[in-house]
Chains A and B, each alone.
Chain A
Amino acid sequence: MDALGIHLLIFLPLVAAIVVWTLPERRKDLAPTFALVVGLLVFGIALVLWLNVGGAGLLGETKLSWIAVGAEQAEGGQLISGLQISYHVGLDAISAPLVALTGLLVPLSIACGFASIKHRVREYYAWMLALTGGMFGVFVARDVLLFYIFFEFTLVPLYFLIGVWGGPERRWAATKFFIYTFVGSVITFAGIMYLALRAAALLDSSLITFDLAMLSALDGLSAAEQSLLFVAFFCGFAIKVPFFPLHTWLPLAHTEAPTAGSVLLAGVLLKLGTYGFLRFSLPMVPDGAVEWATAMGWLAIAGIIYGALCCWVQTDIKKLVAYSSVSHLGFCMLGMFSLLPIGLSGAVLYMVNHGLSTGALFLVVGMIYERYHTRDMNKLGGLARQMPIMTFFLILFVLSSIGLPGLNGFVSEFTVLLAAYNSPTLGPIYGVFGATGILLGAIYMLYMAGKVLFGPVKEPAGTPDLSAGLKPDLNAREITILVPLAVVVVLLGVYPRLITDTLDPALETQVMQRVTAAIESSAHKTVAKTDGDNVITCEGDKELACGIDVSDGTPYHLITFSPYHSVIMPTPDAVTGGP
């Protein structure tokens, strides 16, 4: 059943896209409803899959050979040499929250276009559904090349969504978006190819495969190779994140995209980059990740501050929200490259939370735009009086975005900063700089809220434009779109363990073990050892402390490398016991 669900996540939207595209002219009014029904179906499937996923193991794993080159068949039809790309899918607790997030955002973003999409309707919904299939594909792929194919595939629908249904500068925005992300991922592709080749060589196999689990457990790459491979992965993923200073495509793409495009771009597609780092860079080239961690930390901080200050001087609401993504994903990356369990789990939570709050902000901004046909904050004002319901939602999502405790944003922001502060690779200074983001975030978001919502009423002439069947304040359809997001925003703030209870063990086994090993090897592997007389000796000027864990009586020793990096290890039996 689970396997069927995963196939449906990918292929149901893709098939539905073709159906919508080919709807006859007289039935074209069905397109939005049909797309919404498909969207709700995949949401249901995604939700069930997420609820089924456990802390360990892969849900609904399926592996089929897809492209096989070099047919040296042995008995049993197994390929033993050549190159094999398989359709290998499955869901674990790391992908599951992101699949659920995608499932939630898809029907909402489909429904938000009902009033504003007026031309080439069938095509629009076809591209939306195609994008949906691609996004799910990325998160469930267990074959690196399959991942890459889906990763690239998502560019096409979004290119058309921006280029056809976007704002006045849509063509340039779409092209810029495409060039940036495409160029970056070509380098990543080269990296993947190199890694697969080396893996085959290291495992002494003449069959080149792209199995995620195999590549994530690979040993034997040299430090220089890992470092270069990390850079290769960086090129594709960092542009997607978007990571400072490669973010300049984002504000334009966001501003010009239709609302649904912005929601999915911010909510899901940017996560492909962070997900890539988490799934590929960290476990596949852990030594490279450790080596580059401090550089990543500084870039993340630069992004946090740079993005936030850029937000503060915007006059276009949508551009402000777009720049806030640059700042927020800086937090996410900071947490990830703290290389601590809480940092990684905070980073995944951050992906989900950013998707929720920023997606919701784009939805609300879109609703304002549909009425006032402007996003210029200088032309709007005092909307709290005109649109009290919208105001409630906007304030809620703004608060979620600036990390108000009790809402979702806080949990991830707090854990991420805590991790940066305590990280073995980063350190307190990173936490301090990162924390300026909580201050700057409040400044630019409240600046926006104050301009748009408060003060005397300011509306451009001839607005609000209600010709599209809208009401002055949000109508039932729009409220229905925002309510689920509001509920989840509160729920994840009060009880984040909905995600972390299964996420943490999965991160531990799939990412942290590799990373921890790399950290320890970078700290010159053996700092403490026992000699024949059961005495622990310590190399260099590391501090060593021994103790007993009172809860279960386990003896342990603590090796302190620096004020903010210490490792606790079980004391070897040779030290404590023995006759």
Chain B
Amino acid sequence: MLLAQASTSLLPVDLYATLPFWPLLGAIFTGIMIALRLKAERAFWPVVLGVGVSAVLGVILFFDLPGMLPHKADAGVTGHVAEAAHEYHDPGFTHTIYNWISLGDENSLKHDQWISVNFYFDGLTGIMIAFVTVVSLMVMIYSIGYMRDHHGHPERGYERFFAFMGIFVFSMAMLVFAGNFVLLYLGWELVGLCSYLLIGFYYKKPSAAAAAKKAFIVNRIGDFGFALGIFALYMFIRPLTHSGENPLDYAVVFHYIGELSQGKITLVALLLLCGALGKSAQFPLYVWLPDAMEGPSPVSALIHAATMVTAGIYMIARCGPIFAASQTALNVIVVLGVIGAMLAATMAMAQYDMKRILAYSTISQLAYMFVALGCSTPASGVFHVFTHAFFKALLFLCAGSIMLQMGHIIDLRRFSGLRNILPHTKRLMLIGCLSLAGFPLLAGFWSKDEIVHASFVYHPIVGALMLITAGMTAYYTFRMYFLCFHGPLRLPKEAGDHPRESPPVMIAPLYVLALGAIVAGYVGVTFTMLMGDSFLGFLKPHGYFHHYLHASTVVGGEQHGGGLWLMYVSSAIAIAGIWLAWVRYGDAPVEDPDKAALGGLWRLWNAKYYLDELYDRLFVRPLRGLGRFFFATDNNGIDGLIWVVTAVPRAMGGGLRLLQNGALQGYALGMVIGLTVIVLLWRWLEINGA
């Protein structure tokens, strides 16, 4: 079977396995350039080239992968005995690079078990790596132009920015390629580190430094649960494994997971879910993502919208065999997803910072993906990850383009009517907004519709809430769009006298992403000529994308097709939301009509439901208080206690006074006592022996 894989792959697997390391190599080169104090002007080259190589490899791998995977049918042809129905078939294959951490022997019977550095290839790997590397490359190219001041000179820290971005792409690729849970955790933590370093890129700003710290720590809260999940998996799976089977490899875990009791599976699933809640910024751990917008816009686009934050969805989809076996865990995911989607959408309606609106919409869209996962249709969730990456990266980069030309002002109250100044940005932003709003026939429409459909099958109330959220999405997206580009021209004074369109190096990659935002959805759509059974007469959901994902660990219930009435309803809701935004914000009013109309509710949304303040009162302050108490105990209590204990010998013989007068005398005393004891013992022994 292994031979068959090798013969059908275009490039050797070893070459594909180098994919994550090219950006790292680029980052190291850039690091050397920093160390040698070379000119910053060209610092982007090594990283952009490294990511470029990765993107090429990623796209080739995407097309090459289906032929490399073991197919069930092939297994039959090559003479494998048909296995029982409940038996787990590994849909992919594991490629080991080296053994990393030894797990020790257990009475010499379970030897050769390791935590390895190994990569896992299946359909999910192919999809994730393709869009991650391509979107990364586009964002990198954009950054070449973006990370400059208005004279076109590189900003302070230009080289550092590219080095960190290179490390990010490496880490994200490791996360996607990882073939076991520990390596997944490695990628997971490393992307978190890059996020920390890049949110704090403008470290002189206290708000940026605080946001970076908050992001890392909130993520670590999730990772705490994630790590416990991995420990639990090890504890449950290891007793079932044999020598040579690494107990934390995906292939091994998924093979044996069915033998665990329902309670154990649910426990593992819920613990792993904690990690996803942190990384994918879901309720109740979403508080870090809006603050993360302190980072440069390309970082927001790549890390905090398109790739890193989808890692949680990726992980749950990857662990399909675990989650599919626990309906309790799936129900929890749906509930959290619905709460997250609704909360985030309401908060997005009451913000003025463009990037924060987009951040809340990211939370909301990620929550959609969660709902898809919970409704046993993980393929639809992954599909939304895929389309979302294009249009959300596009939106953030457009916001960055506006921000750059407005002198780093992003507050919608400070400017309006930019349609003539930034014509390209306006056009691109419109595509992004329509796609996010779920306007028919654009990328976001197809994937979102699948999720709404699945949620209706799961429970009508969930479906209704998803539809309402879709309407809110359309509304706040276009509220932002109209406030920015419509109405009379107003400019902040920071923008200077002649703001102009961004340079081609920034605009060109945006067109690539915009193309994705339009057509990416058709990867998951089948063209058909059956009039009655299709949308607008020739389009039918569930296409190549779902077929591709079939050979992966993404397992769920039946995929729900058809149900055309829902597509028309959701189209109508999207258009209605846009229309409502046009009515209320079409001429970019200076006074916010919603603020006046909604009053207290609006303020609650604007203040993000006071969750930050709540956490501060509930956790941060008590813990710090405890720390102060402990420190005081240390200084007074424990020392005092020991002083009291030593008071007995002090009172008795004053022996310790010698130590206080001069430790050396005390030491000498100790040695004398010790020697005396030795001699006495010897005497005792001699007497007894004799």
Q: Which of B101, B234, B626 contacts A309, CB < 8 Å?
A: B626
A261 touches B (CB below 8 Å): no
CA distance A415 to B627 in the complex (A): 27
A356, chain B: closest CB distance, angstroms: 17
Q: Are A385 and B104 in contact (CB under 8 A)?
A: no
Chain A residue, CB-CB nearest to B214: A446
The interface centre, meaning the residue of A81, A159, A312, A399 with most chain B CB atoms within 10 A of its CB, is: A312
- Residues of chain B from 607 to 656 with CB closer than 8 A to chain A in the complex: 623-624, 626-628, 630-631, 634-635, 638-639, 642, 646, 656
Chain B min CB distance to A561 (Å): 12
Q: Which of A314, A404, A454 contacts B203 (CB 8 A)?
A: A454
Q: Which segment, of A27-35, A109-117, A125-133, A430-438, faces chain B?
A: A430-438
Residue of B with least CB distance to A500: B102
- Bound-complex Cα distance A456 to B205 (A): 7
Is the pair B678, A193 in contact by a Cβ cutoff of 8 Å? yes
Contact between A438 and B223 (Cβ–Cβ < 8 Å)?
Answer: yes
**Separation of A200 and B685 alpha carbons in the complex (Å):** 10
User: Within 8 Å of chain B (Cβ to Cβ): is A340?
Assistant: yes
Partner of A418 from B217, B231, B242 at Cβ < 8 Å: B231
Answer yes or no: B209 CB below 8 A from chain A CBs: yes
A549 and B623 in contact, given A251-B634, A446-B217, A504-B104 (Cβ under 8 angstroms): no
Complex Cα distance, B114 from A500, in Å, reads 12
Complex interface residues of chain A between 291 and 316 (CB less than 8 A to chain B): 306, 309-314
Chain B residues with Cβ under 8 A from A554's Cβ? 109
A557 to B634 alpha-carbon distance, docked (Å): 50
Interface size on B, residues (CB 8 A): 78
Which residue on A lies nearest to B200, using beta carbons? Answer: A454
Q: When chains A and B are docked, how far (Å) is the Cα of A433 from the Cα of B659?
A: 39
Tell yes or no: A179 within 8 A of B by CB. yes
B410 at the interface (CB under 8 A from A): no
A312 closest partner in B (C-beta): B627
Find out whether the CB atom of B232 lies under 8 angstroms from the CB atom of A428: yes
With an 8 A cutoff between CB atoms, is B210 at the interface? yes
Residue in contact with A248 in the complex, picked from B190, B206, B243, B634, CB distance below 8 Å: B634
B106, B197, B634, B659, most chain A CB atoms within 10 A: B634
Q: Nearest B residue to A569 by beta-carbon distance?
A: B107
| B107 touching A208, Cβ below 8 Å | no
Given A309-B626, A422-B235: A341 and B104 within 8 A (CB)? yes
- The residues of A that contact B544 with a CB separation of less than 8 Å are none
Cβ-defined contact, A446 with B213, below 8 A: yes
Q: Does A417 lie within 8 Å of B678, measured CB to CB?
A: no
In whole angstroms, what is the CA distance A405 to B175 when docked?
A: 12
**A156: interface (CB < 8 Å):** yes
Contact partners of B635 in chain A: CB under 8 A: 248
Beta-carbon contact of A182 and B102 below 8 Å? no
Question: What's the nearest-Cβ distance from chain A to residue B395, in Å?
Answer: 29
Once A404-B189, A405-B189, A442-B217 are accepted as A-B contacts, the answer to whether A193 and B656 lie under 8 Å apart by CB is no
- B639: contacting residue among A248, A551, A567, CB under 8 A: A248
Across the interface, name the chain B residue whose C-beta is closest to A153: B667
Residues from chain B with a CB closer than 8 A to the CB of A566 are: 239
Complex alpha-carbon distance, A439 and B193, angstroms: 14
For chain A residues 375-416, which have a beta carbon within 8 Å of chain B?
382, 384-385, 395, 399, 404-406, 410-411, 414-415
Interface of B is mostly: helix
Q: Of all chain A residues, which has the CB nearest B244?
A: A551
B104 to A206, Cβ gap below 8 A? no
Question: Taking the nearest CB of chain B, how far is it from the CB of A78, in angstroms?
Answer: 17
| Contacts of A485-509 to chain B: CB distance below 8 A | 495-497, 500-501, 504, 508
A125 to nearest B CB, angstroms?
20
Indicate if A332 sits at the interface (CB-CB under 8 A): no
In the complex, are the beta carbons of B242 and A345 less than 8 A apart? no
Tell me, rounded to whole Å, the shortest Cβ–Cβ distance linking A329 to chain B. 16
A residues near B220, Cβ cutoff 8 Å: 438-439, 442-443
Residues of B within 8 A of A385 (CB): 203-204
Q: Is B682's CB within 8 Å of the partner chain A?
A: yes
Question: Considering the chains assembled together, what is the distance between the CA atoms of A311 and B626 in angstroms?
Answer: 11
Q: Which of B203, B232, B244 contacts A384 (CB 8 A)?
A: B203
CB pair B686–A193 under 8 Å, yes or no, is: no
Q: How many residue pairs bridge A and B at CB < 8 Å?
A: 220
Which chain B residue lies CB-closest to A556? B109
Does B674 sit at the interface, judged by CB under 8 A? yes
Let me know if B224 and A436 touch, CB within 8 A: yes
Interface set, chain A 99-146, CB cutoff 8 A to B: none
- Assuming the contacts A551-B244, A568-B109, asked whether A497 and B99 have C-beta atoms less than 8 A apart, the reply is yes
A177 to chain B, nearest CB (A): 9
**CB–CB B243/A549 < 8 A:** yes
Interfacial chain A residues near B600, Cβ < 8 Å: none
Asked whether B78 is an interface residue with its Cβ less than 8 Å from the other chain, the reply is no
Query: Is the CB of B45 closer than 8 A to any CB of chain A?
Result: no
Residues of chain A lying within 8 A (CB to CB) of residue B107: 516, 567-570
B185 near A: Cβ within 8 Å?
A: yes
Q: What residues of A have a CB within 8 angstroms of the CB of B642 in the complex?
A: 248
CA distance A399 to B100 in the complex (A): 20
Q: State in angstroms the CA–CA spacing of A70 and B680 once bound together.
A: 12
Evaluate contact between B681 and A197: CB separation under 8 angstroms: yes
Residues of B within 8 A of A66 (CB): none
Instruction: Confirm or deny: A550 has a beta carbon within 8 angstroms of a beta carbon on chain B.
Output: yes
Evaluate contact between B670 and A450: CB separation under 8 angstroms: no
A269 near B: Cβ within 8 Å?
A: no
Contact B209 A454, beta carbon cutoff 8 Å: yes
A377 CB → nearest B CB, Å: 13
A552 within 8 A of B: yes
Measured between beta carbons, the chain A residues less than 8 angstroms from B212 are 450, 454
Give min CB distance, A150 to chain B, whole Å. 14
Closest Cβ of chain B: how far from A39's Cβ, in Å? 26
Q: Please tell me if the beta carbons of A438 and B206 are within 8 angstroms of each other in the complex.
A: no
Interface residues of B in 565-622 (CB under 8 A from A): none
B325 to chain A, nearest CB (A): 19
How far is the CB of B159 from the nearest CB of chain A, in Å?
A: 11
Q: Which chain A positions have C-beta within 8 A of B177?
A: none
Is B556 an interface position by the 8 A CB rule?
A: no
B238 adjacent to chain A (CB < 8 Å): yes
- In the complex, what's the smallest C-beta–C-beta distance from A315 to chain B, in angstroms? 11
| Cβ contact of B243, chosen from A341, A406, A450, A551, cutoff 8 A | A551
Q: How far is the CA of A422 from the CA of B228 in the complex (A)?
A: 12
Q: B residues within 8 A CB of A53?
A: none
Q: Does A367 contact B (CB under 8 A)?
A: no
Compute how far the CA of A406 lies from the CA of B170 in the bound complex, rounded to whole angstroms.
Answer: 12
The answer to whether A310 touches B634, judged by C-beta atoms less than 8 angstroms apart, is yes
CB distance from A456 to the nearest CB of B (A): 6
- A to B CB contacts below 8 Å, 24 in the list: A69-B678, A82-B682, A155-B667, A178-B666, A182-B667, A248-B638, A309-B626, A310-B627, A414-B101, A421-B234, A421-B235, A432-B228, A442-B216, A446-B216, A454-B204, A455-B204, A455-B209, A497-B99, A504-B104, A549-B243, A560-B239, A569-B107, A569-B109, A570-B107
Beyond the given pairs A189-B677, A439-B224, A456-B204, 15 more chain A to chain B contacts, judged by CB atoms under 8 angstroms and listed by A's residue number, are A152-B667, A156-B664, A156-B667, A182-B667, A182-B670, A247-B634, A309-B623, A341-B104, A382-B203, A428-B235, A432-B228, A439-B223, A454-B212, A455-B206, A516-B107
3 nearest A-B pairs in the assembled complex, by CB-CB distance: A341-B104, A454-B209, A405-B186
Q: Hey, which bits of chain B sit against chain A, CB under 8 A?
A: 98-107, 109-110, 112, 182, 185-186, 189-190, 193, 196-197, 200, 203-204, 206, 208-210, 212-213, 216-217, 220-221, 223-224, 227-228, 231-232, 234-235, 238-239, 242-244, 623-624, 626-628, 630-631, 634-635, 638-639, 642, 646, 656, 659-660, 663-664, 666-667, 670, 673-674, 677-679, 681-682, 685-686, 689
Q: Which residues of A are in contact with B by a Cβ distance under 8 Å?
A: 69-70, 81-83, 152, 155-156, 159, 174-175, 178-179, 182-183, 186, 189-190, 193, 197, 200, 206, 208, 245, 247-248, 251, 306, 309-314, 340-342, 345, 382, 384-385, 395, 399, 404-406, 410-411, 414-415, 417-418, 421-422, 428, 431-432, 435-436, 438-439, 442-443, 446-447, 450, 453-457, 495-497, 500-501, 504, 508, 516, 549-552, 554, 556, 558, 560, 563-564, 566-570
